[in-house]
Every structure is written in structure tokens, then in C-alpha cells.
């Protein structure tokens, strides 16, 4: 296994679209949301154990989740858990992880990935990452993985690529597009040169540090100034101060959309970002009338179809005459809503917070 290969797992989100199961105090990456026996972050960590040495895997998370990371990933040393004092989007998260790794090993090649995605074809994923790490180690480039789209989905960002190839299947990126309308998404699919943006990146430490210097110079200075403090007792205090100076910006908008050395690898490894209850429904086992029930031991359904049901194991639940609904109970909260209106969950969470404070959030 290559000692220069590193992984950064981004685990700071609160997963509000999976409320009420996902809470601010215990978000979705720390939940076995698919009923597999492992949480999403545990599955992510296990995948990267096949790519790089375990001491080369780092998790960046909110400081409030440190104990959850330690509990679920007991093999991780304290210096591998990088804590953020506030949420500042993905650019500061990537900067912290990559600058720290660069200070440990200037020859490092790094894969950065979210903690809460589903990968069905694990061997395919590992092969794709290893292929990308090799290309990134040999070229001054920023690589992103693009998923070959199976439908005109409006919930994903899209990456347009050109015929300009860096190495084998690595295509130069032409444009990034945020979540499009359905008509535009259909046009993207028909054109054949668009991919879903998986939010997974691969680059050398040198390439990404140079990119910060060029495209986010203020943020670059903040984390470059911290170099003497990485891997010392003063790291956390210095980084906490650094975060207070950072702008709230994504790595996509801050660097990937601006840089001229960005390449995408069209990929297929059974990927889902598990962004909504609809994605969980699509991936779950269903009965003969389309109901997905997790867990199913004490749920009885009459004249009901195409429902997504997720309730506590010890609760007896009877549903009758319910079609195309989401039924979720957790943390003394019950949510029932039509499946085609699940995009309103974020607004519901905001309304609950306004009326009842943070008790149910």
C-alpha cells in the first residue's frame, strides 16, 4: 500500500433533510440509515482502508462530533480527527486537511470525500480512486469524479467535460452547473457530455496548496500561517482562530469552477449521495406493493403502497390507506408527508426551530 496516499473524510454536516432521524447532535453520517449494521461514516472509513494506510486517513468534523467519531472509529488517533469550531462550508475543511497533510508529507496525494455517501460497487470504487491517485501523483491537476447519469435528476450538480484527455479517461472539465431544472437536466443527458458531480476529489498536496494560493489567497494565507502549529499542542487553538477568519465558501465554487487544470473521470460504482428520503426509498428493499420499511418487524400495513417507513424497532405501527408517503419517527418526533413533497423538510425543520427552539432539532 502506497504510504503517500491519504484520505480526508468530510463529516461536519448536520443532514437536516433526514430530520427527525438526523439531528444536530447526531447527524446522518453517524446513523445506520440503511439498516446495514454499520453507520455511513464507518462504511466510508472501511472503504478507504483498502486505499491507504489507516494512519493516513483523516476525518474533518465539527468539534461537537469528536466523541461520536471516536466511538464509531476507535482505531483513529486523536491527531487524525480534525475539528472545526464552526461550519464554514467545504473550502476551509479541505484547506485544513490538505495543509496539515502537506506539513506531514509534501509528497502526499489526497482523496477527499463526504462521509455520508453510498457506494454499492466497492471494488469498482477502490479501483477508480487508485487510478485517480496515480494520475494525480504524476500530473499537476485537480481531479473530480463524475458519475455517469442514469436519469435527468434535478437534485445533483453536473459536470460538462471535453474531448481533451489528460491520461486515459481523465477529461478536461468545461463547466460546472448547480442543480438544474428538469428541462435543462434532460438536455444535459441527451448531449452525452455531462456527468453528475459526486463531490469526490483527488489531487496532490502540492497541486491543491498551489490552487488555494491562486484562487483563495486569503484562505491560503490563513492555513499556511498555521504550518508551524500543525501536529503540535497548539494546533487546535490556532485553527480555531483561523476558522473565524474564513469566508463561508465551497471548494467547488472557490477553486474547482475557476481552476484551469481540473479533470473529471467518468465513473460507475453504484454511487448515491443519499441526499433525500427519496434516495433511501429507491435503494431500500420493498415489498410487492412498493413499501420500504426499516425496520419491518412491528409494522403492519393495510391497503398501503409505495411508502417509505422508518420507525423505532420497539414500536408497533399500523398504517392503512396510505399511498406514496414518508413516515418517520425518531427522538420523540413523528413526520408524515407525501413523498413528492419531501423537499419541504428543511422548511419544516426551520419552522420547528422557530416555534419550539432546538429541543427537537
For residues 206 and 141, membership in a common domain is answered with: yes
The reported pLDDT for the residue numbered 35 is 79
Helices (H), ranges, 85-156 = 90-104, 122-138
Residue 166: inside a domain: yes
Residue 361: inside a domain: no
For residues 243 and 346, membership in a common domain is answered with: no
For residues 325 and 263, membership in a common domain is answered with: no
For residues 268 and 304, membership in a common domain is answered with: no
The reported pLDDT for the residue numbered 172 is 96
Cβ atoms of 174 and 162 closer than 8 Å: yes
pTM (whole model) above 0.85: yes
- The whole-angstrom separation of Cα 240 and Cα 181 is 39
For residues 224 and 102, membership in a common domain is answered with: yes
The reported pLDDT for the residue numbered 358 is 87
Residue 229: inside a domain: yes
For residues 301 and 165, membership in a common domain is answered with: no
Print the domain residue range for 293. Answer: 277-356
Q: Residue ranges of the chain with pLDDT lower than 70?
A: none
The reported pLDDT for the residue numbered 141 is 97
Residue keyed to cell 418517520: 328
For residues 117 and 226, membership in a common domain is answered with: yes
For residues 334 and 264, membership in a common domain is answered with: no
The reported pLDDT for the residue numbered 83 is 95
Q: Hey, what's the cell of 39?
A: 453507520
- The whole-angstrom separation of Cα 24 and Cα 279 is 21
3-state secondary structure of 358: coil
What's 136's domain CATH number? Answer: 3.90.550.10
- The whole-angstrom separation of Cα 236 and Cα 44 is 25
For residues 129 and 85, membership in a common domain is answered with: yes
For residues 197 and 296, membership in a common domain is answered with: no
Residue 59: inside a domain: yes
> Which of 272, 306, 338 is where one domain is finished?
272
Containing 203, the helix (H) or strand (E) segment is strand 194-204
Torsion sign, CA atoms 332, 333, 334, 340: negative
Number of domains in the chain: 2
- The whole-angstrom separation of Cα 205 and Cα 97 is 10
Output phi, psi for 206, to 5 deg. -65, -45
Q: Hey, what's the cell of 222?
A: 490563513
55 burial via Cβ count (<10 Å: 0-12, 13-18, 19+): middle
For residues 266 and 302, membership in a common domain is answered with: no
> Which of 272, 298, 331 is where one domain is finished?
272
Residue 46: inside a domain: yes
- The whole-angstrom separation of Cα 175 and Cα 158 is 8
The reported pLDDT for the residue numbered 128 is 97
For residues 198 and 287, membership in a common domain is answered with: no
> Which of 248, 272, 296 is where one domain is finished?
272
Amino acid at each position: 500500500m502506497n504510504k503517500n496516499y491519504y484520505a480526508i473524510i468530510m463529516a461536519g454536516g448536520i443532514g437536516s433533510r433526514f430530520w427527525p432521524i438526523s439531528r444536530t447532535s447526531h447527524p446522518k453520517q453517524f446513523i445506520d440509515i440503511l439498516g446495514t449494521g454499520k453507520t455511513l461514516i464507518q462504511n466510508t472509513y472501511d472503504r478507504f482502508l483498502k486505499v491507504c494506510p489507516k494512519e493516513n486517513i483523516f476525518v474533518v468534523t465539527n468539534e461537537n462530533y469528536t466523541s461520536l467519531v471516536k466511538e464509531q472509529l476507535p482505531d483513529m488517533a486523536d491527531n487524525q480527527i480534525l475539528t472545526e469550531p464552526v461550519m464554514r462550508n467545504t473550502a476551509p475543511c479541505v484547506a485544513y486537511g490538505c495543509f496539515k497533510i502537506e506539513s506531514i508529507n509534501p509528497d502526499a496525494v489526497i482523496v477527499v470525500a463526504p462521509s455520508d455517501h453510498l457506494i454499492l460497487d466497492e471494488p469498482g470504487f477502490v479501483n477508480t480512486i487508485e487510478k485517480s491517485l496515480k494520475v494525480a501523483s504524476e500530473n499537476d491537476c485537480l481531479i473530480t469524479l463524475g458519475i455517469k447519469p442514469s436519469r435527468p435528476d434535478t437534485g445533483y450538480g453536473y459536470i460538462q467535460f471535453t474531448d481533451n484527455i489528460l491520461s486515459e479517461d481523465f477529461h478536461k472539465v468545461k463547466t460546472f452547473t448547480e442543480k438544474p431544472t428538469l428541462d435543462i437536466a434532460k438536455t444535459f443527458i441527451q448531449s452525452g457530455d455531462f456527468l453528475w458531480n459526486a463531490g469526490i476529489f483527488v489531487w496532490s498536496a502540492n497541486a491543491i496548496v498551489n490552487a488555494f494560493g491562486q484562487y483563495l489567497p486569503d484562505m491560503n494565507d490563513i492555513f499556511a500561517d498555521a504550518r508551524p502549529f500543525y501536529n503540535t499542542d497548539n494546533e487546535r487553538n490556532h485553527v480555531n482562530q483561523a476558522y473565524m477568519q474564513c469566508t463561508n465558501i465551497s471548494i467547488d465554487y472557490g477553486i474547482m469552477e475557476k481552476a484551469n487544470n481540473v479533470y473529471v473521470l467518468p465513473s460507475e460504482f453504484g454511487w448515491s449521495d443519499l441526499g433525500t428520503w427519496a434516495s433511501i426509498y429507491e435503494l431500500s428493499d420493498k415489498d410487492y406493493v412498493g413499501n420500504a420499511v426499516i425496520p419491518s418487524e412491528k409494522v403492519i400495513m393495510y391497503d398501503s403502497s409505495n411508502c417509505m417507513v422508518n420507525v423505532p424497532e420497539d414500536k408497533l405501527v399500523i398504517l392503512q390507506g396510505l399511498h406514496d408517503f414518508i413516515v418517520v419517527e425518531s427522538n420523540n418526533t413523528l413526520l408524515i408527508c407525501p413523498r413528492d413533497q419531501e423537499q419541504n423538510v428543511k422548511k419544516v425543520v426551520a419552522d420547528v426551530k422557530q416555534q419550539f427552539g432546538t429541543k427537537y432539532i
